[in-house]
Structure 1
Amino acid sequence: MQDAVRILMLIDRAADPVDELDIADDPALQTAVGVVRTQVRLQKLDFWVRNPDYLANELLNDYESGDHDPALLGLATDILDSEEPELRRYPMLRYLFGAYEDLEDALSVLRHADLVVRRKKGRPGHVVQTNYFLLQAGRDMVEKIRADFPDLMWYSARSALVVELAAGQGATQLKDRQYIVEEYLTTPNGVRIPSIADRARQRLAEIRGKIEEQQV
Structure 2
Amino acid sequence: MANFEQVAKGRTTSIYQDAVRLLLLIDAAAEPVPDPRPTEAPPDAVAVLRSQVLLQKLDFWLRNPDYLADELISRFERDGSADDLDLARQILESDEPEVRSYQMLRYLFGAYEPLDEALSVLRTPGLVVRRKRGSAGHTSRHDYYLTTSGRAAAQKIVDTAPDLSYYVERSILVADLAAGRRGSALRDIQYLQPEYADAGLGTHIAGIAERARKRLREASAITDSGGQQ
Which range, TM-score by smaller chain?
A: over 0.9
Looking at structure 1, the residues matched to 122 and 77 of structure 2 have their Cα atoms a distance apart, in angstroms, of 39
2:178 is equivalent to residue 166 of structure 1:
yes
CA distance in 2, matches of 1:41, 1:138: 19
Alignment partner, residue 33 of structure 2: 18
With normalisation by structure 2, the TM-score equals 0.88
Q: Determine the structure 1 residue equivalent to 2:22.
A: 7
Asked whether the equivalents of residues 23 and 30 of structure 1 are also in contact (C-alpha less than 8 Å), the reply is: no
The one-letter amino acid paired with 2:107 is Y
Alpha-carbon shift at residue 168 of structure 1 (Å): 3.6
Q: Which moved more, 1:13-22 or 1:79-88?
A: 13-22
Shift of 1:123: 2.8
- Superposed CA deviations along residues 30-78 of structure 1, whole A, max 9, x for unmatched, are 1100000011001111100000000000000111122x21111001000
2:69 aligned with 1:65: no
Residue 18 of structure 1 contacts residue 35 of structure 1 at CA under 8 Å; is this kept in 2?
yes
Contact 1:35/1:133 (CA < 8 Å) preserved in 2? yes
- How far apart, CA to CA, are the structure 2 residues paired with 1:125 and 1:175? 26
Helix, strand or coil at the partner of 1:34: strand
Aligned partners of 1:22, 1:41: CA distance in 2, in Å? 21
- Matched AA of 1:100: Y
Partners of 1:169 and 1:29 in 2: how far apart? 24
Are positions 1:29 and 2:16 aligned together?
no
Gaps of 5+ in 1: none
What amino acid maps onto 2:60 in structure 1? F
For 2:37 and 2:23, the matched residues in 1 are separated by: 20
Question: For residue 9 of structure 2, what is the aligned residue in structure 1?
Answer: none
The amino acid that maps onto 1:170 is: R
Query: Percent identity, aligned pairs only?
Result: 51
Match of residue 59 from structure 2: 46
Which sections of structure 2, spanning at least 5 residues, go unmatched? 1-15
Alpha-carbon distance in structure 2 between the residues aligned to 1:177 and 1:114: 33
Letter in 2 for 1:79: I
Instruction: State the Cα distance separating 1:22 from its structure 2 match.
Output: 4.9
Correspondence for 2:89? 77
* Equivalent AA in structure 1 for residue 22 of structure 2: I
Superposed CA RMSD in Å reads 1.5
Give the match for residue 128 of structure 1: 140
Which of 148, 168, 177 is matched with 2:160 structurally?
Answer: 148
Instruction: State the secondary structure of the residue aligned to 1:180.
Output: coil
TM-score by length of 1: 0.93
Output aligned runs, 1:98-117, within 5 Å: 98-117=110-129
Partner of 1:188: 200
Please list the CA deviations of residues 106-129 of structure 1 after superposition, one character each: whole Å capped at 9, or x if unmatched.
Answer: 100000111010000113431011
Q: Distance in 2 between matches of 1:33 and 1:163?
A: 17
Distance 1:182 1:120, change over 3 A: same
Paired amino acid for 2:77: E
Q: Deviations over 1:153-190 (max 9, x none)?
A: 21111111011111142221111111111111111110
d(CA) in 2 for partners of 1:51, 1:84: 9
Query: CA shift at 1:212, angstroms?
Result: 3.3
Would you tell me which structure has more helix in proportion to its own residues? 1
Tell me which moved more, 202-211 or 172-181: 202-211
Q: Number of aligned pairs?
A: 212
